[in-house]
Amino acid sequence: MSSLHHVLLLGGSGKIAQLLTPLLLQRSWNVTSIIRDPAQVGNLQKLGEGHAGKLSVLVRSLEEVTSDAHAKSLIDEVKPDYVVFSAGAGGKGPPERLRDGTEKIDRDAACHFIRASVATPSITKFVLISFVTSRLRKPEWWTEEIWQTEQNTTLKALKRYYEAKVAADQVLHEEGKKRKDFAAICLRPATLTPEPAGKVLLGKTPVAKGTSSRASVAELTALLLDAPNVKSCWLDMHDGDEDPAAAVKRCIDEGIDVAEGEPYY
Ligand SMILES: NC(=O)c1ccc[n+]([C@@H]2O[C@H](COP(=O)([O-])OP(=O)(O)OC[C@H]3O[C@@H](n4cnc5c(N)ncnc54)[C@H](OP(=O)(O)O)[C@@H]3O)[C@@H](O)[C@H]2O)c1
């Protein structure tokens, strides 16, 4: 049986986060889920029923976390040893909230929690949910055509989102280098779907466009948190044909890190 852990889940009412919560609780881990809408507390708390681990729900808006010190004070209140950042402003609200929220949540709040987590010795793992083309340079395992297509489609259409995500991913990579006993993990799905969890394509994927089941993203997140020897890494992720546990083990054993090729790698 796994040793007990306490996971701080940022963006706990999100679709991936709600799929992840029971996977953590069933390991007898405790979870503190941060959400912003008090109306969602009751539904969220139901996710905690019937599990060995305890679920706590805290209502706080991540938009108000405007400094590393503020993130650190939340961390000190919760006292987690693992942190998962699965919040994001995408999808809801008026255009200005989407625009500002993307910078405030996907970039700024993520960066504040990354830095505050690295500055907290008792925290040893941080998983950031990013996306597959959140990178500044073409990796050597993608063709020029794949990269150009991404730049002319996804990255152009989602410019602010892309800029917010690449900034947070870079901070995760750089902060992760500061501690040998800290795994800074960036999990990078493609287009998310509501399909059930299944087999995956993980690591250096030969494609950029594709689908990723949210349930598989949740499963991989739990497996990565549970892997005792995982190191800091970025892992791209699609639906595929490898067993998720085998894929995680292979990526760890082979030291896969798709941050390779980035200017600061
Ligand atoms: N859509 C895609 O195809 C795709 C692809 C790759 C990666 N991703 C990334 O995957 C991540 C999670 O995906 P998902 O499907 O689980 O998204 P989701 O259901 O939209 O979850 C995001 C969560 O962030 C929360 N959030 C937003 N602003 C907040 C704030 N100010 N304070 C506290 N919480 C806040 C939202 O809360 P509310 O419910 O209160 O709004 C929501 O619960 C996102 O970061 C996204 O960028 C998405």
- Residue-wise pLDDT tens digits, 216-265: 999 999 999 999 999 999 999 999 999 999 999 999 999 999 999 999 99
State residue 212's pLDDT score. Answer: 98
Q: How far is the CA of 78 from the centre of ligand 1 (A)?
A: 21
Q: How far is the CA of 89 from the centre of ligand 1 (A)?
A: 6
Residue 1 has pLDDT above 50, yes or no: no
pLDDT band at 182 (very low <50, low <70, confident <90, very high): very high
Q: What are phi and psi of 233, to 5 degrees?
A: -170, 160
How many other CB atoms sit within 10 Å of the CB of residue 97? Answer: 13
Which ligand 1 atom sits nearest the alpha carbon of residue 17? 16
- Ligand 1 pocket mutation, candidates 9, 13, 65, 191, criterion most atoms within 8 A of CB: 13
State residue 93's pLDDT score. Answer: 66
CA dihedral 89, 92, 97, 98 (to 10 degrees): 60
- Could you read off the pLDDT of 2-30 as tens digits, one per residue? 459 999 999 999 999 999 999 999 999 99
Orientation of helix 15-25 relative to helix 214-226, angle to 10°: 40
Q: How far is the CA of 113 from the centre of ligand 1 (A)?
A: 16
Q: What are phi and psi of 264, to 5 degrees?
A: -100, 5
Orientation of helix 244-254 relative to helix 214-226, angle to 10°: 50
CATH class of residue range 6-254? alpha beta
State residue 155's pLDDT score. Answer: 87
Q: How far is the CA of 101 from the centre of ligand 1 (A)?
A: 11
State residue 3's pLDDT score. Answer: 58
pLDDT band at 75 (very low <50, low <70, confident <90, very high): very high
Residue 98 has pLDDT above 90, yes or no: no
pLDDT band at 92 (very low <50, low <70, confident <90, very high): low
Ligand 1 is surrounded, with C-beta below 6 A, by 11, 13-17, 35-37, 61-63, 86-92, 101, 105-106, 129, 131, 189, 191-192, 214
Which ligand 1 atom sits nearest the alpha carbon of residue 88? 45
Residue 38 has pLDDT above 90, yes or no: yes
pLDDT exceeding 90 applies to what percent of the chain?
92
Q: How far is the CA of 1 from the centre of ligand 1 (A)?
A: 31
Span 114-138, average pLDDT: 98
Q: What is the DSSP letter of 199?
A: -
Give the domain ranges of the chain: 6-254
pLDDT band at 209 (very low <50, low <70, confident <90, very high): very high
Span 146-156, average pLDDT: 93
- Ligand 1 pocket mutation, candidates 9, 34, 36, 172, criterion most atoms within 8 A of CB: 36
- Ligand 1 pocket mutation, candidates 192, 205, 219, criterion most atoms within 8 A of CB: 192
Residue 162 has pLDDT above 70, yes or no: yes
